[in-house]
Structure 1
Amino acid sequence: MIDFAEHNSQSTQNSLRLQQFVDFYNALSASNLADLSRLYHQDVVFVDPVHQIKGLQGLQSYFEHAYERLNSCHFTPVQQAGTAEQGFISWRMRLSHPAINKGELFDVEGCSELRWHQDGRIIYHRDYYDLTDMVYRHIPLLGWLTAKVKQKMAQD
């Protein structure tokens, strides 16, 4: 038999954790990267289409580099689901970086898979997004080429 009170409590806790995750990232900047230890466990594993990082120190170094020149970055949650141990959240990221898209704002859609340690901090974080959408389409020749390849694949 399903205990709906327990299910609703877990659902509320998961929603709260995922909202805190989004809020944390929307407040993150080069000046407050030390706060990563409030969100992430010391032994965190972070994976995205470009990196696989083990440990909080490596993650902090990654973000130091990533936020060094970032003009702006904002996440809007789209959908979410999860349990007491893990959560999934799809998002739309709007960002501006001087090395991408001539510094103009652009959007990237993606999803994060999160697993929590017993202490409530994130022990595993994996981001899924289309690297072509984020970077390659903004490089003149590569953008044109990847668009043509996608077009060709859609026809076959």
Structure 2
Amino acid sequence: MNEHQATKRLDEFLSFYNNLSQHNLNSLQQLYAANVEFIDPVHHMLGLEQLQQYFSHAYARLSSCHFVATSKIANESQGCLSWIMTFTHDAIGNGKAISVHGCSIVHWNSEGKIAYHRDYYDLNEMVLEHIPLLGWVTKKIKQKMAKEV
């Protein structure tokens, strides 16, 4: 597998997520291995069943979600995709569009399915700063820390 074919996998991964919705969650089995390990700043799940339950809950109130790639690195067994996710959720930020910078690390098994997926993103940027009181507090903490450097 050459570099172009490897980064094509990341393009397919991105396209998959840009088309994922509450109505096609059963398609996760096309992308992920049955024993997938999925980690993000809030969750650590093992197995496709846990992952489907997670996405079912996550997409239940999600109004929109779109990813744009900012960089891609891949070889035959693993890839790294940096992205900007823009989403709207009725319970976060009064339903206004929120953009979050992040990165996904994925490892493919011998069948070409994802066996390991880890997302890195700033939970504050995604959620906390959009909650009225917490947003104010985290902003003040950031300001204080910036002055101390």
TM-score, length basis structure 2:
0.98
Spell out, residue by residue over 1:46-73, the C-alpha distance to the aligned partner (whole angstroms, 9 max, x if none).
0000000000000000000001111000
Which of these residues, 46, 53, 58, is aligned with residue 54 of structure 1?
Answer: 46
Which of these residues, 14, 18, 23, is aligned with residue 15 of structure 2?
Answer: 23
Aligned residue runs from structure 1 range 137-148, under 5 A? 137-148=129-140
Distance 2:144 2:86 in 1: 28
- The yes-or-no answer on 1:38 pairing with 2:35 is no
- The yes-or-no answer on 1:86 pairing with 2:78 is yes
Which of these residues, 107, 115, 120, is aligned with residue 123 of structure 1?
Answer: 115
Where structure 2 has 5 or more consecutive residues not aligned to the other structure, the ranges are: none
Where structure 1 has 5 or more consecutive residues not aligned to the other structure, the ranges are: 1-8
Kindly state the Cα deviation for residue 15 of structure 1 after the two structures are TM-superposed: 1.0
State the Cα RMSD in Å.
Answer: 0.7
- The yes-or-no answer on 1:152 pairing with 2:119 is no
Q: Which runs of 4+ in 1 moved over 3 A?
A: none
Matched residue SS, 2:79: strand
Number of aligned positions between the proteins: 148
Are the aligned partners of 2:7 and 2:75 in contact in 1 as well (CA < 8 Å)?
no
Letter in 1 for 2:28: L
Larger radius of gyration: 1
Distance 2:118 2:109 in 1: 15
Kindly state the Cα deviation for residue 81 of structure 1 after the two structures are TM-superposed: 0.6
Kindly state the Cα deviation for residue 102 of structure 1 after the two structures are TM-superposed: 0.2
Matched residue SS, 1:63: helix
Matched residue SS, 1:31: coil
